[in-house]
Amino acid sequence: AQSVTQPDIHITVSEGASLELRCNYSYGATPYLFWYVQSPGQGLQLLLKYFSGDTLVQGIKGFEAEFKRSQSSFNLRKPSVHWSDAAEYFCAVGSYSSASKIIFGSGTRLSIRP
């Protein structure tokens, strides 16, 4: 079955500290992988995506993610978080054919400690 698992429901990090949000997926075909961010009461914004090629992808706001096929993972990282990074983060997996096939994880809420 196709699925996305974000094992951490809530993470708190200190401002300026590094961040890693975990994402594991199960997908039959070659996956297209995404990270979205959602501020409270708002829609989702695409941070970055992986389709093929270099397994380390750069996104907006200083985020990056690494695709590891052997571990079925696509973890999101940031070297130094800012208070404005506090939000909900969603990992998603899909295929090229249609966005209707995108499966979202349950999200990780990030809090920033001053």
Partner 1 sequence: DGGITQSPKYLFRKEGQNVTLSCEQNLNHDAMYWYRQDPGQGLRLIYYSQIVNDFQKGDIAEGYSVSREKKESFPLTVTSAQKNPTAFYLCASSGTGREKLFFGSGTQLSVL
CB 35 within 8 A of CB 48: yes
Quick check: 94 binds partner 1 (CB under 8 A)? yes
In this chain, which of 81, 105, 110, 112 binds partner 1, going by CB under 8 A? 105
**CB neighbour list of residue 29: distance below 8 Å, 6 or more residues apart:** 95
Quick check: 60 binds partner 1 (CB under 8 A)? no
In this chain, which of 42, 58, 71, 111 binds partner 1, going by CB under 8 A? 42
CB 36 within 8 A of CB 92: yes
For partner 1, the closer CB: 50 or 78: 50
